[in-house]
Chain A
């Protein structure tokens, strides 16, 4: 199947997904469950990763700035900017594509090979809507919260690592994270997060929904979900950066 055919089938799947739900109350219940499964259960890895990335950014920035002409607060500034602009929205999205994307593809893929999706279709349930829509809404709703937590913990990680190792003073770091702050950058990061959440949920669901075969194919779909989600995220990241920042 060529790439154009895949894009066409992906768009048709989206059309099915967004058609009118049979019972809104059941969809809402599923959306809340998905928020827990896809969002809250990712909080641990996001927190851990963000804290240590912030710490590493701070240490690396400091060790690479030797010039006496550059002021120390630049370290805090660089940590904040790289966290808000790129690390939290994009790297966390890539991590979530690995964790959440593979989970979505494997879950829907195994439902496909076990004929559970056929069972839904025969009952008259819109299987695409029932299975995919709650995941999209849940991801688009919960991921911005994850990213905000990530931003906070990354900057905190930088502070603790910087001041704890003595490479930067508390005053310089705090001055740096406040200097030249542009609130729009947070908006930009959250817009990216919502778009990436949509990509992760839909690309992964697409891979799972069209799985054919058995457990081996479910594994392949799961891997493809991660790879394709990452590729699309990186391309869209470039496009959004150009659109929103320049």
Chain B
């Protein structure tokens, strides 16, 4: 009986406490930098698309919300012909970001993407591509990969030796 009166008093003392609620639309919510929110496609430092259309993100996606098709430009670079994410299915798990070998696909701290029309939740490549490099400012896939593209031949990538000629007898 006394403990009931005591808990009554304690609850009453909450009158003078600060309220924990964040008045969201007026007050901004703090999102940590690593928050998994809206998905973007980043560009490399040269301003080219990072995505090489390897389809690993689409494979990793547990809800199959990513679809894309490969294309190749005259430089020999691979890029996605279209890249489509259905955000009404996306569960923001970040598997695509983990799977991506070129750091192209990234999840950023933004969740305010509500729509009245479900069809508007499907983002095309134009909606996904951003101008900058995102979380990895210096990384450029074609500068470290061994693949030959226009302006960079075999062996010219960073930390890459020129290919050896197995038929040559010279040391």
State yes or no: do A and B come from one complex.
no
